[in-house]
Amino acid sequence: MPGAIPNNNGRSKSRLKGQKRLRLVVAGFAVCFAVIGARLVELSLVRGFMDDHKAGVTRQARLPRPDIVDRNGMLLATDIKVYSLFANPRKIIDVDEAVELITAVLPDLDVKKLYKQLGNRKRAFVWLKREISPSKRAEVHNQGIPGVGFRKETLRIYPNGRLASHVLGYVDVDSHGIAGMEKFLDDQGALYTASLADPLKQAALPAHLSIDGRVQHAMSDEVAKAIDHFKAKAGAGVVMNIHTGEIISMVSLPDYNPNEPKSAQQSQSINRVTTGVYELGSVIKAVTFAMAFDAGVMSMTSKYDARQPMRIGRSIIHDFHAEKRILTVPEVFLHSSNIGTARMALDVGLEGHQAFLRKAGFFDRLVAELPEAAAPILPKRWGKLTTVTAAFGHGFAVQPLQGITVTSALMNGGKLIPPTFLKRDRESAQGLAVQLVKPETSEKMKYLFRLNAEKGTARKADKLAAGYRIGGKTGTAEKVIKGRYSKDHRLNSFVGAFPMEDPQYAVLVMLDEPKAVEGTYGYATSGWNAVPTAGKVIARIAPLLGILPKLADVDKPKTAKVETH
């Protein structure tokens, strides 16, 4: 434009042209800015509010696991953060100095191994020590050794120690569930869920067990005392809510500390309630009674001839407390007559007996949540003798948990409910229930159980847990030692329920090889050890479970007095 100024007319013309161009440029820029502006608004305001938490999942060396709590929210297993010491051998300048400094703080490290680890230039990463305390971490950190660092890790701890260890199981060093509930949670994908949880929101819900920590402790304490007192090899106890199938307590002693998984691998610390199978003996008689009532081959007034031992082929069936007379049905129950029970099973017939035991689940491997569940040991061929011995609990071995599950069914109106270690409500339990026997049969069984506590072999338990209206059946099974039944090695058990007018909880107590001790007059049968143990357990747990005692007038006078100082 400058230097090219023709006349006035041409100037105004070109100026007009220039203005037009300017407008075009301005318009062009305006459009561009408008587009950019619109995009900005969209990105910052619209999209920004839609998803603002895309990033934020933190990767960790070990996966977080959900907490495990008992039915009342008591913490049984949790994760805490710890530091682990690692080294990069390639970056270490002076191996001697590094070894010296590290062992000064951590004297329990093996010096030779440490030399080897740090001297290996081929590797770029080596763990020196997992899980060190915050103070040790600070000390090593302050030494400032090049090539040595820390990694934050999650450590699984069980703050209640041995309590419920068989239910909880344990994890390996990389936080993978190895046994018990921990393994179950892994198999259910709980690890994956927990790893997605926002660490800020604690969104990972804890796993709610059916176990009640207080009842668990009471059971564990009493069984431990009983093992000690009766010099038994082992013991176990279970409390089950008979209307929901929830296992309130499961104890098997000796147990282990899940914080030290090595202690769990000893053979004597197996879970006797689900991992072991046993011939439950007389406890199974209750099942035979229920079967005979239910099949209609027996009524409360039936009579059974127990005058002579019973002969089946070459075997002879004796009674332990032989009465040698004709027994009524309640008498067969109270005296735990093998002959009487065998006759009941024969009346039902071989087919019917097998069908009933199958319906009760004794022929299948029962798996609640715990992966450690043993399959039953069953006779290969089912003959007349098999039915006779199976009637009083010999010749087939099942998990004790199966025993208490079926007993619960006999007490709750006949509904067989699969047991669970997770919290469950009554409605969903009813949905899973299978009618095993008629409600009337259940009523008869309740009567017999209560009668046995009032007059039969379970008297001692009733006395110790006065007021809680217990009922139950005892079992003294001779153990098979080297292929023969041994008179001196017994597996004693008690299975019962309370309060009998409307049973709520079933209890199982088992003692492995208890001995006759002072105060048992040379006896080592169930009534002298397993029964009083169960009585003490019930007296302790009934108030915890909200069962109100009803004392008969005889028991009352001592109680009304208030102690004055």
Partner 1 sequence: MLKVINSFLVVALLISAFVVYSLEYSIKRGERDIVLAKKKTRQARETIRLLDAEWSMLTQPERLQRLASKHLKLRPVKAAQIVPVNRLAAKLPERPVHDPSQTKNDPLAKMLEDIN
Active site residues per annotation: 282
Shortest spacing between CB 52 and partner 1, in angstroms: 10
At its nearest, how many Å lie between partner 1 and the CB of residue 228? 15
Burial 102-118 (b: 16+ CB within 10 A, else e): beebbeeeeeeebeebb
Q: What is the CA radius of gyration of the chain?
A: 36
| DSSP-assigned beta bridge partners for residue 177 | 171
State both tokens at 393.
């609990």
Nearer to partner 1, 156 or 343 (CB): 156
> Three-state SS for 465?
coil
Q: CA 145, CA 164: separation in Å to the nearest integer?
A: 43
Contact 527, 554 (CB under 8 A): no
Q: Which is nearer to partner 1, 50 or 200 (CB)?
A: 200
Q: At its nearest, how many Å lie between partner 1 and the CB of residue 1?
A: 13
| Buried/exposed code over 197-213 (b: 16+ C-beta within 10 A; e: otherwise) | eeeeeeebeebbbbbbb
d(CA 245, CA 401): 11
Q: Least distance (Å) from partner 1 to the CB of residue 418?
A: 28
Please report, for residues 165, 195, 244, 386, the alpha-carbon distance to residue 68 in angstroms, rounded to integers and kept in the order given: 12, 16, 20, 44
Closest CB 462 distance from partner 1, rounded Å: 12
Which residue, 214 or 473, has its beta carbon nearer to partner 1?
Answer: 214
Q: Which residue has the tokens 């100026």?
A: 15
Sequence letter at residue 426: R
Q: What is the smallest separation between the CB atom of 221 and partner 1, expressed in angstroms?
A: 7
Q: How far is it, in rounded angstroms, from Cα 552 to Cα 541?
A: 20
Rank residues 24 and 80 by Cβ distance to partner 1 and give the closer one: 80
Beta bridge partners of 304: 327
Residue 260 CB, nearest distance to partner 1 (Å)? 15
Q: Pick the closer one to partner 1 by CB: 18 or 349.
A: 18
Contact 333, 289 (CB under 8 A): yes
What does the block give as tokens for 201? 């929101």
Question: What SS3 state is found at 533?
Answer: helix
Report whether the peptide linkage leading into residue 6 is cis, meaning its omega lies within 30 degrees of zero.
no
Phi, psi dihedral angles at 481 (to 5 degrees): -115, 120
Cβ-based nearer residue to partner 1, 163 or 295: 163
Instruction: State the distance between the two ends of the chain, measured CA to CA, in whole angstroms.
Output: 119
Q: Could you tell me the smallest distance in angstroms from the CB atom of residue 429 to partner 1?
A: 27
Please identify, using beta-carbon distances, which residue of 162 and 424 lies nearer to partner 1: 162
**Closest C-alpha among 451, 489, 488 to residue 473:** 451
Residues pairing with 303 in the sheet: 328
Least CB distance from residue 112 to partner 1, whole Å? 35
Question: Tokens 């431990």 appear where?
Answer: 224
**Nearer to partner 1 (CB atom), residue 212 or residue 331:** 212
Per-residue b or e along 261-288, where b marks 16 or more CB atoms closer than 10 Å to that residue's CB: bebbeeeebbbbbbbbbbbbbbbbbbbb
Neighbouring C-alpha atoms within 13 Å toward the C-beta of 399:
27
Closer to partner 1 by CB, 112 or 558: give it.
558
Closest approach of Cβ 467 to partner 1, in Å? 3
Paired tokens of 269: 């610390």
Q: Would you say 301 or 564 has its CB closer to partner 1?
A: 564
SS3 of residue 4 by DSSP:
coil
Residues near partner 1 (CB under 8 A) are: 22, 74-76, 78-81, 157, 159-163, 199-200, 202, 213-214, 216-218, 220-221, 465-468, 539-540, 542-543, 548-549, 551, 555-556, 558-560, 562-565
b/e string for 318-345 if b means 16 or more Cβ within 10 A? Answer: ebeeebeeebebbbbbbbbbbbbbbbbb
